[in-house]
Amino acid sequence: MRRALPRRRLLQLAGAAGLGLCLSPRTAHADTKSRVVAEIDRDRVEVGEAFELTVQVDSEGERGSEVPEPVLPDLAALGLQVVGMPATYRSTSSSFSFGTGRGSTMTTRTTLTSVYTLVASKPGRFELPVHIMEGKTKVTPPRIPAVEVTGQAAPTEPIPAAADGPTEPQGDIFLWTRLDKPTVFVGEQLTYTLEIYERLPFLQIQLRQLPGFQDFWSEELPQGQMRQAVVGNTAYRVHPGLRRALFPQRAGTLTLSPAEVGIGMRRRITGRPVTVEVKPLPAGAPAGFSPNNVGVYSIRAQADRTNIKVGEPFTLTIAIQGTGNIRVIDPGSWPEMPGLRRYEPKIETDVTTGAQLGGERRYAFLVIPERGGQLTVPPHTFHYFDPATASYQTATSAPIELTVAGDPNAAPTPTTDAPPPPTAAEEEGILAPIVEPATLPRATPSPSWLTPSRWGWGMAGAPVLLALGTAATALWRRFGPDESSRVAAARAAKQRELLAQAERGLASGEGFYPALAQLLQAAAVERAGPEGEGLPRHTLLALLARKGVSSADCDRLRDLLDRCDAARFGARGESASEREAALRTARELLASPTALKPGSSARTPS
C-alpha cells in the first residue's frame, strides 16, 4: 500500500509551485496553462535504498479538460528502477472573475500529483529531468531534482556456484546462493539453495524477484531452518530463502540469474548470478533410452488377480520408483501381450521431496484376456542413466503368469487404445438376438387401484378405528349406566314386550294369557326379591304379603293368575271384554306402588 502524501508536503509543494510561477516566468512559458514541479524526498541514498520522486502538474482550463501526464527520464540508463505502481492524487477547484463591461469567466484548476518510488542500483549523481508535454510544447519544472547515490553496485558478473557458505562478511545483509554440485549431467538433479545472511534484525524481508531458472526443470523442495553462522569473525543469522531441485535440460555453462529481496519498502538487495557446468550424457545409450531417465530406478509389475475368465478385465500395474525427475520419466514402449487386450493406462505419480527428488510413478492398465489357457504378461524393460556411476543401466520387471478360464482358441480382437464400438461379429453370440414375433405382443397396463395414498389411508384406518372403539368403550364404561340400571332397563323392556304381545292377542285370545301369566309371574318374583325365585304360587303370594303388598292386590293377582291358568289349561273360554278387563287389572297391578311396581318400598306387615 502506497503511503499517503502528507498534507504538509502537499502544501509545501503547492507553495513551491506558486513561488516558481512567480519567480520563474521564463521557465513556464507565458502562453502555457500547465505547470510542473518535481521534488525528491531525499538527496542522498545508498545503492538499493528507495526514495520518492513527487511530480505535481497544475493545469488551468475548462472544466473536464485533461491534465498532461508527467514524462520521466530514461530511469534504466540512470540505474534507477520504479518499484510498484505510482500513487496519483487529483484535485480540482473553480474560480470566477468579473471584468468591467464584460461578463464573468469561470476558471477550473486541476492538480495531478504522482509519487514514484525509485531504487538506485549504482552509485553516482543523477538528475531527474521530469517534464510534461502540452501539445507540442515541452514544459519543464523550475528546478530539476538530483539524487546522489553512494555505496557499491551489486556485482553482475556471474561466478561459479559454490557448495559452501561465504567466507567473508558482506555488510549487514546479503544474499548467498549455493549449488550442491559445480558440474552435473543433463537431467541430473542439482539442488539450489538461496540464503539471506543478516547481521542486524531486519523486518519484512520478502523475496521480490525469483532467480532465473531458464534451461532448468524446477521442483520445489522443503526449506531448511533458520540457523546461526559465523562468516570471518562476524556472526550472522541465516534465513532460508528458497530451495529447489533443478534438472538441467541442455549441456553447457548455464547461468542462474540472481534473486532480489526487499527489506520493508525502502531497501532492495540483489544476489549474484552463478554458473554451473552441465555435461552431456555419454555415448553408448541403449536402444529405447530416453534422456528423461536420469537417476536411479527400479521397476516392478503386479496384477490384481491371476485367475480370471475370458473377457473379464483385470488391472495390471507397472511401477517405476527411485530418485530422479520422476514426473517426466519415460517408461518406453510397452511390450506386446499376446492373447490380452490392453487399454491406455491411468498414471499416478507420488513424489517424495527429501535431499533427493524421487518417488514412484505407476501405470495402471485395464487388461482383458481374449482367449483361455495359460497367458503371460511379458517383462517390461526400462533403461536409465545413473549419474553416480556415469553409466547406462537397465531395470526389468518380472513376468506374470495368468490362468484364464475359457476357450484357448478364441479369435483375438484387434487391439485399440479406446474401447471399440461393438461390431456385429463381436456381439454375435454375446447379446441375445432381437425377437421377431408375427405381431407385436403388447400390454395395456391398468393402474393398480391400490395407489400409495390409498394404501396409506387403508393402513391408517384399522388402528384409527381400533383406537376410536377403545376410546368409546372406555367412555361408555365411565359415563354410561351401572349394572342395576341396565338390569332394570332390560326388565322394563321385557315387560313392554309381553304387554305388547298380550295386546296383540286381545281380540283373538291367542297367546294372550301365556303372555299375561309370564308378565305377572315375572313381576311378582321381582317384587318378592331373590328369595321369591322358584316358590310355588301360594308361597310367593304369602311372601309378597310379607313384603308389603296389600292383601287386596294379592287377591287380585291370585285371581288373575288363576284365570290365566284356567284359560291356558282348562276348557274355559273368555270373551274379549273379559280379556280386556284382565289386561287392565294387570296394568293397574304393575303400575301400583303398593302392588308389583318395581322399586316399591317394602312395608312391614302389621
Compute the least distance from the CB of residue 334 to another protein, in Å.
Answer: 15
Instruction: Scan residues 365-404 and list those touching another protein (CB under 8 A).
Output: 366, 368
Q: Binding to another protein by residue 468, rule CB under 8 A? A: no
List 463, 530, 534, 573, residue binding another protein (CB under 8 A) = 463
DSSP label at residue 326: G
Compute the least distance from the CB of residue 450 to another protein, in Å.
Answer: 5
Cα separation of 221 and 402, whole Å? 42
Residues in the chain: 606
DSSP reduced 3-state for 178: strand
Strands 381-386, 274-279: pairing kind: unpaired
222 vs 437, beta carbon nearer another protein: 437
Compute the least distance from the CB of residue 477 to another protein, in Å.
Answer: 14
Stretch that binds another protein, among 215-223, 329-337, 378-386, 465-473 (CB under 8 A): 465-473
310 vs 566, beta carbon nearer another protein: 310
DSSP reduced 3-state for 250: coil
338 vs 458, beta carbon nearer another protein: 458
Angle at 579 between CA 575 and CA 583, to 5 degrees: 170
Burial of 95 (0-12, 13-18, 19+ CB in 10 A): exposed
Tell me if 118 sits within 8 A of 53, measured CB to CB: yes
Cα separation of 153 and 120, whole Å? 9
Q: Binding to another protein by residue 434, rule CB under 8 A? A: yes
Three cell numbers written together for 451: 395407489
Q: What is the per-residue binding string for another protein in 329-348, x denoting contact by CB under 8 A?
A: --------------xx-x--
135 vs 441, beta carbon nearer another protein: 441
Q: Binding to another protein by residue 435, rule CB under 8 A? A: yes
Stretch that binds another protein, among 199-207, 240-248, 420-428, 481-489 (CB under 8 A): 420-428
427 vs 559, beta carbon nearer another protein: 427
Q: Binding to another protein by residue 200, rule CB under 8 A? A: no
List 64, 452, 573, 599, residue binding another protein (CB under 8 A) = 452
Stretch that binds another protein, among 209-217, 434-442, 483-491, 515-523 (CB under 8 A): 434-442
Closest CA to 234 of 200, 203, 199: 199
Q: Binding to another protein by residue 424, rule CB under 8 A? A: yes
Tell me if 199 sits within 8 A of 232, measured CB to CB: no
Q: Binding to another protein by residue 225, rule CB under 8 A? A: no
Q: Binding to another protein by residue 412, rule CB under 8 A? A: no
Q: Binding to another protein by residue 469, rule CB under 8 A? A: yes
Q: Binding to another protein by residue 441, rule CB under 8 A? A: yes
Closest CA to 597 of 35, 605, 606, 588: 588
22 vs 450, beta carbon nearer another protein: 450
Q: Binding to another protein by residue 2, rule CB under 8 A? A: no
List 232, 422, 593, 598, residue binding another protein (CB under 8 A) = 422
Q: Binding to another protein by residue 504, rule CB under 8 A? A: no
Closest CA to 316 of 236, 385, 377: 377
Q: What is the dihedral of CA 161, 163, 164, 165, to 10 degrees?
A: 40
Strands (E), 257-294: 260-263, 267-270, 274-279
| Binding residues for another protein, total number by CB under 8 A | 42
Cα separation of 545 and 486, whole Å? 28
C-alpha distances out from residue 599 to 299, 356, 523, Å:
114, 116, 11
Compute the least distance from the CB of residue 321 to another protein, in Å.
Answer: 22
Closest CA to 357 of 349, 345, 365: 349
Q: Binding to another protein by residue 442, rule CB under 8 A? A: yes
Q: Binding to another protein by residue 480, rule CB under 8 A? A: no
Q: Binding to another protein by residue 477, rule CB under 8 A? A: no
Q: Binding to another protein by residue 436, rule CB under 8 A? A: yes
43 vs 344, beta carbon nearer another protein: 344
Angle at 348 between CA 344 and CA 353, to 5 degrees: 150
Three cell numbers written together for 428: 454375435
Tell me if 595 sits within 8 A of 551, measured CB to CB: no
Instruction: Scan residues 284-323 and list those touching another protein (CB under 8 A).
Output: 311, 313, 315
Instruction: Scan residues 547-606 and list those touching another protein (CB under 8 A).
Output: none
Angle at 315 between CA 309 and CA 319, to 5 degrees: 145
Cα separation of 367 and 344, whole Å? 9
* Binding region for another protein (CB under 8 A): 311, 313, 315, 343-344, 346, 366, 368, 418-419, 421-422, 424, 427, 430-437, 439-445, 448, 450, 452, 455-456, 458-459, 461-463, 465-466, 469
